[in-house]
Amino acid sequence: MIIFGWGHVTNKQYGATLADNCSNCNNDSWWHLLRNRKWFTLFFIPVIPYKTKYFLMCPVCSQAVELTGSQIERARQLNVLTQGLLNKSISENEYRNQAKKIEVLG
Ligand SMILES: [Zn+2]
């Protein structure tokens, strides 16, 4: 007998991505990039993701904005850059110069 299922959900946190003000809780903070996936499972093991969504989430109140189209790729680039800033592998100047080129929600 083959046991399969739908709707197994996993969330992956990529960490700090975009410095922004939250319209919900009014805090300035680093919004986090989040990936939400729904999986097809076989014998309770997730094998194929059939739905993937990306969000930017306020870490204070968990308000989330869904990213679409090219916003996703830009958010991932900015995430890598922001992680570099936070672990001090790039300078703040370098960060600002690079981040200007990536307008995530534009
Ligand atoms: Zn918030």
Q: What is the mean pLDDT of each successive set of 10 residues along the chain, which is 106 residues long?
A: 93 96 96 97 95 97 96 96 96 94 78
Q: How far is ligand 1, taken at its centre, from the CA of residue 70, in Å?
A: 24
Cβ proximity of 21 and 63 under 8 Å: no
Q: How far is ligand 1, taken at its centre, from the CA of residue 48, in Å?
A: 33
Q: pTM (2 decimals)?
A: 0.86
**pLDDT score recorded for residue 65:** 95
CA pair distance 63, 76, nearest whole angstrom: 19
Q: How far is ligand 1, taken at its centre, from the CA of residue 3, in Å?
A: 41
* Residue ranges with CB less than 5 Å from ion ligand 1: 22, 24-25, 58, 60-61, 63
Q: How far is ligand 1, taken at its centre, from the CA of residue 8, in Å?
A: 27
Does an H or E element contain 94, and which? helix 92-100
**pLDDT score recorded for residue 32:** 97
Q: Is 6 helix (H, G, I), strand (E, B) or coil?
A: strand
The token pair that represents 30 in the structure block: 């680093």
